Amino acid sequence: MQALDTQQKPVTSDSITGILKRIIAENGRDHLWGYVFAISCLVIVALSTAYTAWIMKSVINEAFANRRADIVWAICFTIFIAFVLRGFASYGQAVVLSKIGNNIVARYQQRAYSHLMKLSLGYFNQTRSAHVVAQLNQNISGIRDVMNLTITSTVRDLLTFISLLAVMIIQDPLLSLAVFVLAPPLLYALRYVSKRLRTATKDAIHVNSHVAGAMQETIQGIAIVKAFTMEGQLEHKVDRLVESAERRANRIARLSERTAPLTESFAGLAVASVLAYAAYRTIYNNIPPGAFFSFVMALLLAYDPARRLARLQVQMERAVVNARMIYEFLDTVPHQRDVPGAKALVVKEAKIEFRNVSFAYGEDDVLRHVSFLAEGGKTTALVGPSGAGKSTIITLIPRFYDPKAGQILIDGQDIAHVTKQSLREQLAYVSQQPYLFEGTIRDNIRYGRPEATDEEVERAARLAYAHDFILAQPHGYDTPVGENGVTLSGGQRQRLSIARALVRNAPILLLDEATSALDTESEAAVQKALDGAMVGRTVVVIAHRLSTVVRADKIVVMQQGRIMEEGNHESLAQRSDGLYARLNNLQRPAASDAR
């Protein structure tokens, strides 16, 4: 087994067509009727636009050449109806496509968050959180944009352009041929711009994620920033990142808007040529002006859809870059998936056994052939100097990581062959650094067991010696805690995290230096609560202070990833040459001074 995630990603097509096929396959069926309605509206928009240009021949000829007022009035009424239909159709397609787009964004946000929950701790250790958040926030809209651009461009713009082109060909085939001769160089230039834009957009997204990350880190560590007067250093760092992001944004703007002079120049040349040729024929050949006006109007009306179609590949490249990066994240295969046929963990004694377990972060071994038994219903303490591997053992039990070698068993069941859900339901965990989530105090305790009643929440708070300070808050248990409990002290946050573990009422309790954030008085109070909570449970605890270790049923002494000694406090303290005895002697003067 591997200790860390290997980010396995299936091959995703890099082309616009490949991304588009996948987006349509994932979203087309769910919104089929919505798209059918939107396409119908866009067809009306396209045909009504083409009708306006086509009917101009009759308007001009009947009004100025034949002077038929009755026919002109009827034609004008049909033009009015065409505009009304186009207005309502434009409204209908815009609303429907917006609703579909918003639903697509919401679904992919939910999907991305759900996938985020499936990734193991190793993925988050390898990936900066700010990068993940920025990637999700910036790129999910790319899925929506690809779909909307595809629908509006292929139906409204392309159909409008083809319809108007048909009008132009009907009215004057020779002039229409001239337009086709001028178009290929323009399309080639736009294709060149779109290729360069793809790279620029991807670079900009990466730089923007670094800007967001730097700002997020500053907010999270603002106390350290001010304490060490780091404002100037961080401002200089962020300034450089922002300037880099600005340069890339400017480059994208230059590339994106480079289509404007190309299309405008083409349109100017086409319109000027048509007007000159038509004027020549009317002046020297006495040809009626109706067909000429109809052709010119079709040409002018075709300009907008042609311009949008010319920019389509540029816009599509930007949208596809965003969509592709979302799929890169969604295609990351979770390393710690349940094995085929994994069964639910059945806990009776809650006995935990490590058998010859080795573990490494990357290439450096952290645990080397570790074997010990944590008896069911008893407390096993892990002690040793920093870097001995104690916290790693705690993280292996809930399968935050998988060992490189060896087995971890609970009541004889290898945890690698049970479902992670059933395993973690039998565990309560208190980390070294307490973390609270946005919401109230009651919400944060109830996260331990969502179905817990208010009485059970308050009972857990009393056991954690948190009830009194909770009642002293402005709204008691309904007091918002702020971002990561910023309104509470470190000791208060830790006691709430202990209450969250207690309300879970799990048979196995993991304590990673759970009292490290408490002062002496609070530690004594919480220790009493933990003593009560430990009764009848299997407890694996890491503690540097003797107050917890002395009462443990078993002490496992570790150094450099190996187990050096095992026993209880009395037996280990009597070994004058033992590691535990040395640690005990080092802490004894400090304990005496504290008394």
Q: Would you state the structure tokens that stand for residue 319, as one six-digit string?
A: 């949208």
- Rounded to whole angstroms, how far apart are CA atoms 298 and 169? 10
- Determine the pLDDT at residue 136: 75
**Strand, helix or coil at 590?**
helix
Whether residue 393 contacts residue 382, with contact meaning beta carbons closer than 8 Å, is answered with yes
Q: Above 80 in pLDDT, residue 592? A: no
Residue 409, strand partner residues: 353, 414
In single-letter form, the type of residue at position 503 comes to V
Cα-based distances in Å from 321 to 126, 199, 202, 208, 543: 23, 9, 6, 14, 49
**Strand, helix or coil at 176?**
helix
Whether residue 167 contacts residue 50, with contact meaning beta carbons closer than 8 Å, is answered with yes
From 6-15, 71-80, 565-574, the region with the lowest mean pLDDT: 6-15
Mean pLDDT of the chain: 80
Largest CA distance in the chain: 121
- Cα pseudo-dihedral 221, 224, 227, 228, rounded to 10: -120
Bigger pLDDT: 56 vs 529: 56
Mean pLDDT of 454-462: 91
In single-letter form, the type of residue at position 270 comes to A
Whether residue 357 contacts residue 367, with contact meaning beta carbons closer than 8 Å, is answered with yes
Please name the CATH architecture into which domain 343-426+535-595 falls: 3-Layer(aba) Sandwich (3.40)
Q: Above 80 in pLDDT, residue 10? A: no
Q: Do domains 16-330 and 343-426+535-595 have the same CATH topology?
A: no
List, for residues 106-145, the tens digit of each pLDDT value: 888 888 888 888 887 777 777 766 667 766 776 787 888 8
Confidence class of residue 189 from pLDDT cuts 50, 70 and 90? low
Please name the CATH architecture into which domain 16-330 falls: Up-down Bundle (1.20)
Q: How far is CA 15 from the centre of its chain?
A: 23
- Determine the pLDDT at residue 355: 94
Continuous segment of H or E residues that includes residue 512: strand 508-512
Q: Would you state the structure tokens that stand for residue 463, as one six-digit string?
A: 């056991």
pLDDT > 90: percent of the chain: 19
Q: Above 90 in pLDDT, residue 586? A: no
Q: Please give the CATH number for the structural domain made up of 429-505.
A: 3.40.50.300
From 164-178, 210-224, 234-248, 508-522, the region with the lowest mean pLDDT: 210-224
From 182-186, 474-478, 573-577, the region with the lowest mean pLDDT: 182-186
pLDDT > 70: percent of the chain: 79
- Rounded to whole angstroms, how far apart are CA atoms 162 and 41? 17
Q: How far is CA 271 from the centre of its chain?
A: 48
Residue whose token pair is 């308007």:
59
List, for residues 367-390, the tens digit of each pLDDT value: 999 999 999 999 999 998 888 889
SS3 sequence, 141-160? HHHHHHHHHHHHHHHHHHHH
Cα-based distances in Å from 202 to 4, 325, 434: 27, 9, 37
Angle between helices 173-220 and 259-285 (to 10 degrees): 160
> Where are the chain's structural domains?
16-330, 343-426+535-595, 429-505
DSSP state of 128: -
What is the full DSSP assignment across 285-332? H---HHHHHHHHHHHHHHHHHHHHHHHHHHHHHHHHHHHHHHHHHHTP
Residue 556, strand partner residues: 382, 566
Identify the burial level of 227 via C-beta atoms within 10 angstroms of its C-beta, where 0-12 means exposed, 13-18 middle and 19 or more buried: exposed
Residue whose token pair is 């040459």:
577
Bigger pLDDT: 172 vs 404: 404
Task: Name the nearest CA neighbour of 101 among 50, 153, 38, 14.
Answer: 38
Q: How far apart are the first and last CA of the chain?
A: 48
Burial 411-421 (b: 16+ CB within 10 A, else e): bebebbebebe
Residue whose token pair is 């509006």:
152
